[in-house]
């Protein structure tokens, strides 16, 4: 029977929780890299498997049609994928690619419109005279250095040394090209819904990475923690009661208090031994999942290649199909 | 604290110093003289350095200056193109449609807080709040 081709789309169901578990226990930079590589690899192999399924199915329909007089089930003992899988896989594939293009275009537009709307810039800083406290890092256009965009209200709510922590945080986002990580994870999530669950921990890991860089730059973890806390409280205070009620629904897991606590705690090098074992086990399981996913994804494409190579001879192609699917 | 900032004050790039000075002008509610900027930043900068930075900012058109006594006082220039109202709107909206595939790829400094988060944060920062002003 054919199992291999179904693996890549199903593996994320195990690999995603395992990756989240592992990321929780890794340093922020390593966690971000792990999460984004998982997202991209799992999305690619499940898409490859889907593509192989669609193409093989269509190929078989062709073969069946050309071998006139036989019903679709004709090749005796054939164990290829059921005929209905081809149109389903094709539709999923087309929908997936359409979504990828839509999201990529939206990212591009967002960046361009922000970059175009940028006002007078002093080196790396642009200040908007807004009454709502916000700050974000805006990547530069075509290799140009990026800009830190910050509202006047945000600057007023922080003390001078806290502002330095904020700037160092945003500088790290720019230097590390963190927007690319977020974009990659978003595109992967479009191709496989189970990968959506990687986006939130990835965003958190990137914030933590920038927080650590800020703490290092100002030479004071507590100062960096205060900057984050004060900024978040100021943002909340400036909101209308209705917007605050909305935030209750929007917030997941209280990322800001977690970030502040992580900075206030000393580097947590000491973990109980049993927990370390469990983490190792999860890491091994995750690696197995990723390897299996990649291998089966590549395998499915290879099968397709074999089939196309022998496509000229319908009988032989059918035997190759059944042989490779049965593997 | 000031010893710490003094330490790395001079190693910072011109771009970083411009950012600090511009931020200080925005955070103040009145025009500032170079001496006042220097005091506010408390970063161990020489007065001439601050004056140089302010002159450069003025040449770029991001700050304005007016005579005050024997020198100048500086104010930040707000971009009056009306883009901000729209941007602000977009900014607020972005805060609301988190999750799904609509999220922005621009990471914001702080995300929204729930009431419980607010409590936790206040508790975490409380001991420190008393020493402020």
Q: What CATH number is given to the structural domain containing B58?
A: 1.10.10.10
Domain count across chain B: 2
Q: What is the number of other CB atoms lying within 10 angstroms of the CB of residue B107? A: 20
Cα–Cα nearest to B63, from B38, B29, B26: B26
pLDDT tens digits, one per residue of B2-42: 444 444 445 678 888 899 999 999 999 899 999 999 998 87
A213 or B44, higher pLDDT: A213
* B102 shares its domain with B123: yes
pLDDT at A207: 92
* B22 shares its domain with B87: no
* CA–CA dist A263, A216 (Å, integer): 11
Containing structural domain, residue B90: 83-129
Among candidate residues B60, B76, B92, the one where a domain is terminated = B76
* B89 shares its domain with B118: yes
Domain locations in chain A as residue ranges: 4-326
* CA–CA dist A147, A167 (Å, integer): 10
* Cα dihedral B14, B19, B25, B28 in deg (nearest 10): -130
Q: Which residue of B has its CA nearest to A156?
A: B27
Confidence band for B84, pLDDT divided at 50, 70 and 90: low
Structure tokens at B46: 């020489």
Cα distances (Å, whole numbers) of residue A5 to A40, A79, A230, A292, A294? 18, 13, 51, 11, 11
B48/chain A closest Cα distance in angstroms: 19
Positions of E strands within chain A: 125-128, 135-138, 147-151
pLDDT at A118: 73
* B104 shares its domain with B53: no
pLDDT at A206: 93
pLDDT at A274: 61
Query: To the nearest 5 percent, what fractions of chain A are helix, strand and coil?
Result: 75, 5, 20
Q: Among B41, B60, B98, select the one facing A120 at the smallest CB separation.
A: B60
Among candidate residues B34, B60, B76, the one where a domain is terminated = B76
* B16 shares its domain with B60: yes
* B92 shares its domain with B45: no
Q: What is the helix (H) or strand (E) element at residue A219, kind and residue range?
A: none
* B95 shares its domain with B43: no
Q: Which residue of A has its CA nearest to B127?
A: A226
A85/chain B closest Cα distance in angstroms: 27
* B69 shares its domain with B107: no
Q: Which residue of A has its CA nearest to B28?
A: A156
Report CB contact under 8 Å: B22, A183. Answer: no
On whether ipTM exceeds 0.90, the answer is no
Angle at B21 between CA B71 and CA A161, to 5 degrees: 130
In which residue are the tokens 């943002």 written?
Answer: A235
Report CB contact under 8 Å: B84, A222. Answer: no
SS3 per residue for chain B: CHHHHHHHHCCCCHHHHHHHHHHHHHHCCCCECHHHHHHHHCCCCCHHHHHHHHHHHHHHCCEEEEEECCEEEEEECCCCCCHHHHHHHHHHHHHHCCCHHHCCCCCECCCCCCHHHHHHHHHHHHHHHCCCC
pLDDT at A117: 73
Q: Among B15, B101, B108, select the one facing A124 at the smallest CB separation.
A: B15
Report CB contact under 8 Å: B107, A206. Answer: yes
Report CB contact under 8 Å: B108, A134. Answer: yes
B108/chain A closest Cα distance in angstroms: 5
* B68 shares its domain with B24: yes
pLDDT tens digits, one per residue of A148-201: 988 899 999 999 999 999 999 999 999 999 999 999 999 999 999 999 999 999
Q: Among A166, A196, A219, select the one facing B8 at the smallest CB separation.
A: A219
Cα–Cα nearest to A206, from A184, A183, A178, A227: A178
* B88 shares its domain with B68: no
* B102 shares its domain with B72: no
Record the pTM: 0.81
């Amino acid at each position: 029977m054919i199992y291999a081709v179904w693996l890549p789309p199903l593996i994320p169901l195990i690999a995603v929780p395992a990756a989240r578990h592992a990321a929780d226990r890794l340093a922020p930079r390593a966690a971000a890299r792990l999460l984004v590589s998982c997202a991209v690899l799992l999305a690619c192999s499940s898409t490859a498997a889907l593509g192989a399924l669609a193409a093989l199915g269509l190929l078989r329909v062709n073969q069946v049609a050309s071998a006139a007089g036989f019903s679709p089930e004709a090749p005796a003992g054939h164990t290829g994928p059921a005929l209905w899988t081809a149109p389903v896989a094709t539709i999923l594939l087309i929908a997936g690619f359409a979504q990828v293009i839509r999201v990529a275009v939206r990212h591009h537009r967002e960046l361009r419109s922000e970059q175009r709307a940028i006002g007078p810039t002093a080196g790396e800083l642009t200040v908007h005279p807004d009454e709502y406290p916000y700050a974000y890092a805006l990547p530069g256009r075509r290799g140009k250095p990026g800009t830190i965009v910050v509202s006047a209200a945000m600057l007023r709510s922080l003390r001078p040394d806290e502002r330095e922590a904020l700037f160092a945080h945003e500088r790290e986002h720019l230097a590390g090209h963190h927007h690319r990580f977020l974009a990659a994870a978003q595109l992967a999530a479009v191709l496989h819904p189970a990968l959506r669950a990687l986006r939130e921990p990835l965003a958190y890991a990137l914030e933590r990475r920038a927080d650590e860089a800020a703490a290092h730059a100002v030479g004071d973890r507590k100062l960096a923690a205060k900057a984050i806390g004060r900024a978040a409280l100021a943002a909340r205070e400036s909101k209308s009661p209705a917007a605050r009620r909305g935030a209750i629904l929007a917030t997941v897991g209280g990322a800001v208090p977690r970030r502040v606590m992580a900075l206030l705690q000393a580097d947590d090098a000491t973990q109980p031994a049993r927990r370390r074992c469990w983490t190792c086990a999860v890491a091994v399981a995750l690696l197995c999942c990723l390897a299996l996913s990649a291998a089966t994804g590549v395998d499915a494409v290879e099968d397709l290649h074999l089939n196309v190579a022998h496509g000229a001879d319908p009988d032989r192609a059918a035997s190759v199909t059944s042989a490779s699917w049965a593997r | 604290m000031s010893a710490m900032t003094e330490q790395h004050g001079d190693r910072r790039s011109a771009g970083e110093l411009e950012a600090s000075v511009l931020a200080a002008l925005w955070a103040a509610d009145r025009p500032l003289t170079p001496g006042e900027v220097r005091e506010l930043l408390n970063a161990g900068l020489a007065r001439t350095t601050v004056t140089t930075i302010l002159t450069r900012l003025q040449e770029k058109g991001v700050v304005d200056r007016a005579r005050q006594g024997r020198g100048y006082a500086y104010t930040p220039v707000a971009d009056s193109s009306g883009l901000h109202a729209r941007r602000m709107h977009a900014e607020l909206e972005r805060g609301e449609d988190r999750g799904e595939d609509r999220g922005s790829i621009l990471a914001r400094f702080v995300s929204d807080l729930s009431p419980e988060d607010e409590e936790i944060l206040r508790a975490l920062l409380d001991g420190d709040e008393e020493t402020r002003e």
